[in-house]
Amino acid sequence: MNWLFVVIRAMVGAPLRCLAGRAVQKRHDTVFPWDTFTVNVIGCLILGLLAGAAVAGAASSQVQLLLGTGFCGALTTYSTFSYEMLWLAEGGARFFAAANVIASVVAGLGAVFLGVSFAEALWA
């Protein structure tokens, strides 16, 4: 039955990624992949909140499957991040490729820590 939880939330996360990505990229006139960057950072924040809630005992294993594996798994995308970095580098936009890698890692880790800290403060 756990697989059903993952499938249901993935059905929400994947279309939301597409819609959010289009809305974000439409606002930027650059080759930098703001759409993927944004959804990945949001996913990191949600996973941080979820991890903090799980440590505090406020998130059951079903909630972790629903939000972590299902929703965030479909919302975020490491493969697109990797492809876009390679596409930028091969296209001569090496600065944007490097900026994408550095900004994604720094912002993603920051979002996770922020999410965990917020969850700990909320459920401590």
Characterise 104 by phi-psi region: left (phi > 0), alpha (psi -120 to 50), beta (else): alpha
Report whether pLDDT(6) > 90: no
Split at pLDDT 50, 70, 90, the class of 9 is confident
- Residue 25 pLDDT exceeds 90: no
Annotated domain spans of the chain: 2-123
Please say if the pLDDT value at position 11 is more than 80. yes
Task: Please write the tens of the pLDDT for every residue from 57-72.
Answer: 999 988 988 899 989 9
Does the pLDDT at position 5 exceed 80?
Answer: no
Query: 3-state DSSP helix/strand/coil percent for the chain, to nearest 5?
Result: 85, 0, 15
